[in-house]
Amino acid sequence: MEELDIKAHVAAAYERIKDIKRDLGIFFTPEWMVDFMVELIDEKKLNTGNIKILEPACGVCQFLIGIKNRRRDIFDKATTKAGIEINKDIVEYVYKQGLYESIDVINCDYLLWNTSERFDIIIGNPPYGIPSLSQHYTIRVDDETKKIYKQLYETWFGKYNVYGAFIEKSVKLLKDNGQLIFIVPATFMILDEFKKLRKFLSMRGRTEIIYMGSGVFKPEADVSTVILRFTKAKSEANKAELYDYTGGKLKLIRKYDRWLGEIILFSDKLSKVVEDVCGFRLGDVYTIRISPRTPEIRNNEDVIKMDGIPEGRGLLPILNGRNLKIGTVIYEPITGYWIEDKKKTSLRSFFDKPHIVVGLGFRGNRRLGAAYDYKAYPWMGDVYHLLREYTLTNMQFNLTDKEVVEFLNSEIVSRYIKSVFKDITYHLSITQLKILPLPTKEELCELNRFLRNEKLE
């Protein structure tokens, strides 16, 4: 039988569902990516003669067709070739083509699908987005369904993204030594919302991550993606590997032999030096807090909304990220919100103490924006606050707060952030800030020597 034209099917299906695809988190996968992922199937680990293949959120069955086209030996041996698709229009379109006689497509919500069957290969491109009826989120899911999701999935945490639930469900549906191959956003590697998912994966088998960058789904979506290849095997639990895919070649970046679900970082020469030299992390020296968000400020009875500059009332302007520049706080009214100096601690108790403030978003070319708030003003919005702690474990840390500000704004930190986090997120989380290396005075001299020698080479 001749190859099926995946591209033609995708184009026809896109026209059929283009008005609703975004509400379901649907993004069709480029054909080259389908081929690449299909080639990642490790045939040596498959059962002989009773192979079962599943494509969740299958759309027009791009991956099942890809296996049929490129791994015909596997496809022909498979006794089950199933796709699950929530959208009825897509399912009807698939069957009308008359080309899927050996593929069983089931019309249902994969996250609510009940089956006793277990699979050797689960492969695909799950939807991604935070489920909600709010216009701010991309996947339209009612509150009752979302409540059921939360009850069903042990990895659900915070503002969870549905692709995390798809991963959990798929791992549970794998046979022993079964393979899960998904293309997903890279955010599960580092964000707090996925800490339960990372722990879940670490306990159940080998996790291999292939970083594909942010260009796979452009122009429809600007998102950094990875291929997750997971092998379900208790004997390979706590093992993880991170690869980079560039120029058609795979390069091993990091290997974890005792991975317990901690965030997964990239690495290069500079980041290795920084991590080897620095004896402390930011979280060893500082407690990190975040400013109150706009709704909290707006609803606080002590806060006054006022245009202009009030005089003689003992009011302070509430600052936000626009007041924070690299190394400097601009003490000028921008937000239009004010509060009496004596009442500012009603917002946060630490607003009466000078301390380091850090912008939540990256500043040009992935630089942090850190400064020392020596006037101890109140803040709102996307600003972190670093509160110095003195403990037995950090007694040897001898940089002053102002020296720490200089280090956070330095070329070393800028390059380190680009190295270990790449372009996965648009801003740093508290967890990412906590693990930033901090040097003592002596270690900082060693880092500066490394930079000077690097530039001389």
Active-site annotation, residues: 125-126, 128, 217
Report yes or no: 325 and 353 within 8 Å, Cβ to Cβ.
no
**Nearest-CA neighbor of 438 among 372, 383, 382, 394?**
394
Cα 397 to Cα 400: distance, rounded to the nearest angstrom: 9
Please enumerate in sequence order all residues whose Cβ is within 8 A of that of 33, keeping only pairs 6 or more positions apart, or say none. 183, 212, 216
SS (H, E, C) the chain: CCCCCHHHHHHHHHHHHCCCHHHHCCCCCCHHHHHHHHHCCCHHHCCCCCEEEEECCCCCCHHHHHHHHHCHHHHHHEEEEEEEECCHHHHHHHHHCCCCCCCEEEECCHHHCCCCCCEEEEEECCCCCCEECCCCCCEECCHHHHHHHHHHCCCCCCCCCHHHHHHHHHHHHEEEEEEEEEEEEHHHHCCHHHHHHHHHHHCCEEEEEEEEECCCCCCCCCCCEEEEEEEECHHHCCEEEEEEEECCEEEEEEEECCCCCCCCCCCCHHHHHHHHHCCEEHHHHEEEEECCCHHHHHHCCCCEECCCCCCCCCEEECECHHHEECCEECCCCCCCEEEEHHHHHHCCHHHHCCEEEEECECECCCECCEEEECCCCCECCCEEEEEECCCHHHCCCCCCHHHHHHHHCCHHHHHHHHHHHCCCCCECCHHHHHCCEECCHHHHHHHHHHHHHHHHC
* Single-letter residue type at 419: S
Relative orientation angle of helices 143-152 and 162-173, to the nearest 10 degrees: 40
Q: Which residues pair with 244 in a beta bridge?
A: 211, 251
